[in-house]
Amino acid sequence: MSHALIIGASRGIGAEFVRQYLADGWKVTATARSEAALADLRAQGAAAIALDVTSTESTSRLAWQLDGAAFDVIVHVAGVLQRQTGLEPPTDADFDHTMHANVLAPMRVLPQLADMLAPGAKLALLSSKMGSIGQRAATGSWLYRASKAAAISVLKDISLEWAGKACCVSFHPGWVRTEMGGAGADITAEQSVAGMRGVIAALTAKDNGRFLNYDGSAIDW
């Protein structure tokens, strides 16, 4: 049975990844912070692990909790959005929170999984088109943009380190109708995740390190 690990599955896109992989008969391990979210994941049939990606202590316990597992697909979803207007300077607290959640977290979490890759494994890190330098035409939420640009860099380094062991990509999930994306967004979480799952399934070694839209089209760095 194929096995997926979803990092950050308490709601929105992460929860939808869990739902869809379980519906297709996969074994799913998923992380969340709250007891309520963990209970919901277990009720659906997933193996649920408590993880706060912004906590050094919590992330340090992840590897031994997953010891012996082999994952065919790993999706790192966890992240936060801090909104600013124009070039409004972020506070120290906002900067630290955003960079810890969106950049430091995958740098802490993903290297722990190197020995848990099944043959032909796929890794997807959710970033955002807002992190693209080549396509940037606005300055809103510039702290979030900076963090997502850095997250793409993190994924690229992992793709080089894990070349030959896993195909690693970063995704723009689309503008999704979630708590983060808002009610006026373009697509549902179900559409976004279905698209990304299809792309993940079709990835080959030549795709390693790419930055992709949820529909598989390439995005400029």
CATH numbers and ranges of domains, the chain:
3-213 (3.40.50.720)
Out of 3-12, 69-78, 92-101, 169-178, least confident range: 169-178
Residue keyed to tokens 């598989």: 216
pTM of the model: 0.94
Nearest partner of 77 among 44, 23, 135, 37, judged by Cα:
37
**How far is 125 from 154, CA to CA, in rounded Å?**
9
Residues 103-123: tens digit of each pLDDT: 999 999 999 999 999 999 999
Q: Which residue from 185, 8, 196, 37 is spatially nearest to 101, judged by alpha carbons?
A: 8
| Residue, of 139 and 60, whose pLDDT is higher | 60
Q: Residue 178 has what pLDDT?
A: 67
Q: Report residue 192: phi and psi, to 5°.
A: -60, -50
Mean pLDDT value across residues 43-55: 97
Q: At what angle do helices 92-99 and 142-161 cross, to 10 degrees?
A: 30
The pLDDT tens digits of the residues spanning 135-188 come to 887 777 899 999 999 999 999 999 999 999 999 999 999 878 766 656 676 789
Q: What is residue 55's three-state secondary structure? A: coil
Mean pLDDT of 83-88: 81
